[in-house]
Structure 1
Amino acid sequence: MELHVVIDGDKDLAGQIYRQIKEAIQAGRLAAGEQVPPSRLLAQQLKVSRKTVSEAYARLTVDKLLVGQIGSGTFVNEVNVQGPPRARQFASKDLAGAAALKTWLGRSVPLPPPGSERRSGYDFVGGGAKGHFPVSEWRQCVLHGLRKSQADRSFYSYAEGLPVLREAIARHTSFARGVQCVPMDVLVTNGAQQAIDLIARVLLEPGCTVAVEDPGYPTARMAFASQGANIASIPVDDEGMIVDQIPDRTRLIYVTPAHQFPLGMPMSLARRKALLKRASELGAIIIEDDYDSEFRYEGRPTDSLQSMDSEGLVAFVGTFSKSMQPELRLGYLIAPPAIREAVAIAKHLSDWHAPTMLQWALAKFIDDGYLQKHIRRCHAIYASRRAQLLSRFATDLAPWLQPIAATAGFHMTALTRSDIDIPLLLKLARRVDVGLYSTDVFYHEIPPTPGLFFGYGAIETLDIAPALDRVKAILTEIA
């Protein structure tokens, strides 16, 4: 990589080099300990004599900005670096796009990333069991992906995803969820979030209506709103979204039928049929967000909406963030024919394609059976943690908390039985190193029903009992 120095004219060449390197060091653009190019190499780059570069380096060394190390080269002197690069400052100016920028600046990030706040030692945050991921098997698959991608290096790939991964996803979803699809229906995305965003891009216009569950997934709702859509908040009951309240002229419907987010109950068969009928009347596309249904603990399996769809109205969205790792950022969309080509074009224009090395690796991970083994292993872990929570909710925590029946996933919601000061409960829990989360943040227009969100995927099994002991002590105190 070449050092960025610009020569203007043919006068004071050494001075020009000296001043630009000095400014880069003092501004922090050249980091402490970073090696600068040898004088011969920089001279060739700038098309000047080596003596000119050596003179500039000598002045910088005298000023203690550079330091030479015999046999190693010349480096930025650590004692004179002013810290990290400083942001450039500009005078305020009215922009033609100020109104559009203001709409984005007015939006908050509903689910802040890890590190934005300190996690508690006993934390019921949402997420999967990180310590149980089969690292050695995944490493083999990544090395396989590296070899395969090297064979095709310097070429862009398919926007829809590598054929081998699309085939693997089609088999996996057909096996695990009964989804009816062929590889050409599959679009590989950077997580489920991108799949939702791409559908919104191709279907929504300012002023159109999107029906979403309330409470529901805030990030999906905000993605639709960012396209200028009007959000119709549809309440849910113990059977799922109340279909009768979906308004006329709705263009898009977003649901989580297998495991309603965040409350947890599955959508009943009758309600699923009603939803498909209503979508047919409206000509609306349904986004079926199937984010964690691989983990089911009781009851008979239920059909996905996609498998019940006879009119091509359901877009099935899945992710490997929950079953594998969030950092992987690979998801998929089983697109109905009506939107398949448009979404592929939007994907191409957005980021062209997901990283091919990871696509090769994931395809092998699925085809070699590692994914199913990992899901089975995590299923046993999550089932044990879920049983612990339900046992406590049925016994010593029963006076305060009533869990909502959830047959899948790795979180559950518990509603409060009495008038509990939830903000105070959360504050006191933090003081004893327990992370609790209110369900209020998932409501949009529907008045919130007081409750707590318990993620049991990320917390260790042995930590659940002592964490709930502390919660009980706080509830006893504030009651």
Structure 2
Amino acid sequence: MPIPVEAFFIDRTSPVPLQVQLRRQIVEGVTEGRFRPGDRLPSSRRMALYLGVARVTVAQAYAELATTDYLTSLPRSGHRISDRIEGRITTPAPAPDTPRLDWQRHIDGRFARSARTDRVVDWRRFRFPFVYGQADPELVDHIAWRECAVRALGWREFIPLTADLYGEDDPELIDYIARHILPRRGIRARPEEILLTLGAQNGLWLAAEVLLGRGGRCAVEDPCYPGLREILAMTRAEVSALPVDTHGLPPETIPPGVTTVFTTASHQCPTNSTMPLDRRRALLDRASSQGFAVIEDDYEFEMSFAGAPSPALKAMDAAGTVIYVGSFSKSVFPGLRLGYLVADPTFVAEARALRGLVMRHPPGMLQRTLAHFLSLGHYDAQMNRMRRVYAERRIVMAEAIAENGLTPASGGLGGSSFWMALPPGLDSRALSRDLRGEGVLIEPGTPFFATAEDGAGFYRLAYSSIGAGLIPEGIARIRAALRRS
């Protein structure tokens, strides 16, 4: 039976290439049972004329599907649906009175309740997205990443990548992290002290589960990274939220009896303050004397605009109390979702076993591609480019903030954002809702605090995902919204 040409269409507003759209429609027709073995497709000439595309586009789509056994090509007979496709399994429709399982009886909803609801998934549709943690695609070396992926897919490397590594990690990536990435933070580590993770969030979860999964007491900064609070809500731990000052977490406020302390010493999240060296020593001395572990989330250590960054806590850790959490999400791109833990081998072995229960290991293909990206110098080149661009954007944003009379809440000189304060009586949640109508996205301060109302007077402005040319107008719109308030 011939398949009518009207069964196909092209969406020219879609970012998906035309050839890919056509191939997907043919595959979907086969898998859904609408196109059956032996059905004849329109000729490439007729299909191209109907869809308004080049004939070569249709011919390439047909040829690709023929190589994967979806189509069969016969001389002077065009293309037909192949009879080598596995038969589609059909199931009878359930009776109308079939009872449905009541999932609410099986699910208590604790995970959904703890998830953040303030994030905007379609942030790209806003003209002024002062959104933290998203990347500017123009700063990512797409060509270099693609070349590294192709290299990893070469036959000699592809064979070992097809294997299950069980609980192990790519030795080339581990070696580069140990010899090149960690020394930049003053850290020396052996391979058995390093564990790859699916980003910093996964690293924090592993640490929390290993140390607090059976309960205990821990301390966190207030305000702090909201994702950490979500993680800790799933443990049975008692959480003490310790207010930070202009120098980060005051060690003397850590209560007795805690087993774990979480800190962002280099760039406090979200205030961007940096913990000075004397306070870092005091924190480590307290950890050694009281016997608690320190989880150091060293996010955005690459983004420092005030000279050389201070050494990581882990670099100063003689007693082995620090678990270091690093990530490539901000320096390569967020969608990569690869990071690492550095800790005592005893902890790493336990965390590796837990990781193995959940996911074995991060995808080997991604690990090897990143290893090439690092070792061939693309990472350093991209970081230099990002630092230059972010430094420019930071200057532009600082000037716009000053010119519009907005108030920074802290003076940190690192990271890719500003922590801002509102005039008394205003609520950043209401301001955020008002600004969305103006095409402006900001982050309200409430998710960062243990008590949401404590953050109502704060908000965060990030510049990683907005060009320098748009920053002044975006800041001016914030000022206008504040005046309306």
TM interval, shorter chain, is: 0.7 to 0.9
The one-letter code of the counterpart of 1:222 is: E
Shift of 1:34: 5.8
Q: Partner of 1:58 in structure 2? A: none
* 2:194 equivalent to 1:164: no
Equivalent of 1:335, from 324, 340, 343? 343
Equivalent residue number for residue 220 of structure 1: 228
Question: Structure 1 residue aligned with 2:116, among 109, 128, 136?
Answer: 109
Matched, 1:137 2:128: no
Q: For residue 463 of structure 2, what is the aligned residue in structure 1?
A: 456
| One-letter code aligned to 1:172 | H
- Give the TM-score normalised by the residue count of structure 2: 0.77
Q: Which residue of 1 aligns with 2:477?
A: 470
Distance 1:154 1:272 in 2: 44
Q: 1:427 aligns with which of 433, 436, 441?
A: 433
Residue 448 of structure 2 corresponds to 442
What code does the residue aligned with 1:405 have?
Answer: G
**Tell me, what secondary structure is at the counterpart of 1:106?**
helix
Are 2:405 and 1:373 equivalent residues in the alignment?
Answer: no
* Kept after mapping to 2: 8 A contact 1:119/1:435: no
Structure 1 pair 228/35, CA: closer, same or farther in 2 (3 Å)? farther
Correspondence for 2:256: 248
Distance 2:400 2:194 in 1: 42
- Give the partner amino acid of 2:138: G
What is the DSSP-based 3-state SS (H/G/I as helix, E as strand, rest coil) of the residue aligned with 1:152?
helix
Partner residue in 1 for 2:244? 236
Residue 101 of structure 1 aligns to a residue whose secondary structure is: coil
| Letter of the structure 1 residue corresponding to residue 222 of structure 2 | D
After TM superposition, give the deviation of residue 112 of structure 1 in Å. 3.7
d(CA) in 2 for partners of 1:355, 1:223: 23
The letter for the 1-side match of 2:481 is: I
User: Per-residue CA shift, 1:176-228, capped at 9, x if unaligned?
Assistant: 22222123321111111111111122222343112111111111122122122
Matched, 1:150 2:158: yes
CA contact (8 A) 1:125 1:454 kept: yes
Instruction: Report the alpha carbon displacement of residue 321 of structure 1 after superposing the two structures with TM.
Output: 0.7
Paired AA for residue 187 in structure 1: L
Q: Matched residue of 1:371: which SS? A: helix
Cα offsets for 1:317-372 (capped at 9, x unmatched): 11111001111111111122330211111122211111111111111111111111
Contact 2:444 2:456 in 1 (8 A): no
Please list the CA deviations of residues 366-417 of structure 1 after superposition, one character each: whole Å capped at 9, or x if unmatched: 11111111001000100011111211233x223x423411121111111124
Q: 1:384 to 1:477 in 2, by over 3 A?
A: same
Quote the Cα distance in structure 1 between the aligned partners of 2:229 and 2:94.
33
Q: Which residue of 2 aligns with 1:61?
A: none
Aligned to 1:17: none
Q: Distance in 2 between matches of 1:113 and 1:438?
A: 12
* Map of 1:46 onto structure 2: none
Per the alignment, residue 391 of structure 1 pairs with 399
**Structure 2 CA distance for partners of 1:29 and 1:450, relative to 1, 3 Å:** farther
How far apart, CA to CA, are the structure 2 residues paired with 1:166 and 1:338?
18
**Who is 2:131 aligned against?**
125
Distance 1:118 1:94 in 2: 37
- 2:125 and 2:365 map into 1 onto residues whose CA distance is 32
- 3-state SS of paired residue (1:380): helix
Say which SS state the counterpart of residue 219 (structure 2) adopts: strand
Name the CA distance, whole Å, in 2 between partners of 1:325 and 1:282: 38
Q: 1:31-70 to 2 correspondence within 5 Å?
A: 35-36=35-36
1:212 aligned counterpart, secondary structure: strand
CA-based RMSD = 2.9
Aligned with 2:320 (options 307, 312, 321): 312
Judge which range, 203-212 or 251-260, deviates more. 203-212
> Partner amino acid for 1:331?
G
2:306, 2:413 within 8 Å by CA — same for their partners in 1? yes
Per-residue deviation, residues 248-297 of structure 1 (Å, max 9, x unmatched): 22122111111111111111222211221222233222111111110110
- Check the 8 A contact 1:149/1:357 in 2, yes or no: no
Amino acid aligned to 2:334: P
Aligned to 1:49: none
- For residue 153 of structure 2, give the secondary structure of its aligned residue in structure 1: helix
Whole-Å separation in 2 of the counterparts to 1:36 and 1:149: 39
Question: How many residue pairs are counted as aligned between the two chains?
Answer: 409
Q: 2: CA distance between counterparts of 1:277 and 1:331? A: 28
Question: Residues 87 and 327 (structure 1 numbering): CA distance in 2 closer, same or farther, change over 3 Å?
Answer: farther
Residue 302 of structure 1 deviates from its aligned partner by 0.6
Separation of aligned partners in 1, 2:241 and 2:389: 35
Counterpart amino acid of residue 292 in structure 1: E
Determine the structure 2 residue equivalent to 1:24: none
Match of 1:54 in 2: none
Q: For residue 289 of structure 1, what is the aligned residue in structure 2?
A: 297
Q: Distance in 1 between matches of 2:192 and 2:128?
A: 44
What is the aligned-residue identity percentage? 30
Residue identity opposite 1:431 in structure 2: G
Is residue 2:183 matched to residue 1:180? no
How has the CA–CA distance of structure 1 residues 37 and 195 changed in structure 2, closer, same or farther, with 3 Å as cutoff?
farther
d(CA) in 1 for partners of 2:326 and 2:468? 27
Partner secondary structure for residue 390 of structure 2: helix
Secondary structure at 2:259 match in 1: strand
Cα shift at 1:100 = 6.6
- TM-score w.r.t. the length of structure 1 is 0.78
Alpha-carbon separation, structure 1, partners of 2:34 and 2:164: 33
**Structure 1: gaps of 5 or more residues:** 1-27, 40-68, 76-85
Cα distance in 1 for partners of 2:432, 2:113 equals 27
Query: Could you tell me whether the CA contact under 8 Å between 1:239 and 1:267 is conserved in 2?
Result: yes
Q: Secondary structure at the match of 1:240?
A: coil
Shift, 1:37, TM fit: 5.1
Stretch moving more, 412-421 or 447-456: 412-421
Contact kept in structure 1, 2:401 and 2:475, CA below 8 Å: no
**Closer/same/farther in 2, CA of residues 352 and 288 from structure 1, 3 Å limit:** same
CA distance in 1, matches of 2:161, 2:365: 10
Cα distance in 2, alignment partners of residues 196 and 327 from structure 1:
18
3-state DSSP class of the match of 1:250? coil
* Range that drifts further, 270-279 or 103-112: 103-112
**CA distance 1:99–1:269, change in 2 (3 Å):** farther
Change over 3 Å in CA distance of 1:291–1:34 after alignment to 2 = farther
Name which of 187, 202, 207 aligns with 1:194.
202
Question: Which letter does structure 2 place at the counterpart of 1:213?
Answer: E
Change (3 A) 1:94 1:438: closer
Matches within 5 A, 1:252-291: 252-291=260-299
Q: Is 1:214–1:445's contact at 8 Å kept on the other side of the alignment?
A: no
Of the structure 1 ranges 168-177 and 345-354, higher mean CA displacement relative to structure 2 is found in 168-177
Alignment CA distance shift 1:225-1:477 (3 Å): closer
